[in-house]
Amino acid sequence: AQKITQTQPGMFVQEKEAVTLDCTYDTSDQSYGLFWYKQPSSGEMIFLIYQGSYDEQNATEGRYSLNFQKARKSANLVISASQLGDSAMYFCAMRASGGYNKLIFGAGTRLAVHP
């Protein structure tokens, strides 16, 4: 069965510092996709970054980068130069097998950025 695990319920970081949010996954598929979404207190889910299982390089999008370690089945999100506006819930997700691009979400990590 496919599963996403986020073991950090909450994280704190000082403004302007970098932070890593952990995500491990379990799948028997050879082809899969991994996503990170941000959910501020307002509730909307904001797409941050995507990593395909066959991508040779780690994905980067501005201050976000994904540390993809395929052998360890981990896809950690790194946020550089944290800003106060980064305070939110962060969800790691994996595209499920079986078509239709269904997503399986982890439990989420709440990030608090302190000034």
Partner 1 sequence: GAVVSQHPSWVICKSGTSVKIECRSLDFQATTMFWYRQFPKQSLMLMATSNEGSKATYEQGVEKDKFLINHASLTLSTLTVTSAHPEDSSFYICSASTSGRAPDTQYFGPGTRLTVL
Smallest separation, CB 22 to partner 1 (Å): 15
Residue 51 buriedness (CB in 10 A; 0-12 / 13-18 / 19+): buried
32-61 mask for partner 1 (x: CB under 8 A)?
-x-x-x----xxxxxx--x-x---------
The answer to whether residues 89 and 37 touch, using CB atoms and an 8 Å cutoff, is no
The answer to whether residues 89 and 110 touch, using CB atoms and an 8 Å cutoff, is yes
Q: Does 90 bind partner 1 (CB under 8 A)?
A: no
| Residues found near partner 1 in the complex (CB under 8 A) | 33, 35, 37, 42-47, 50, 52, 91, 95, 100-103, 105-108
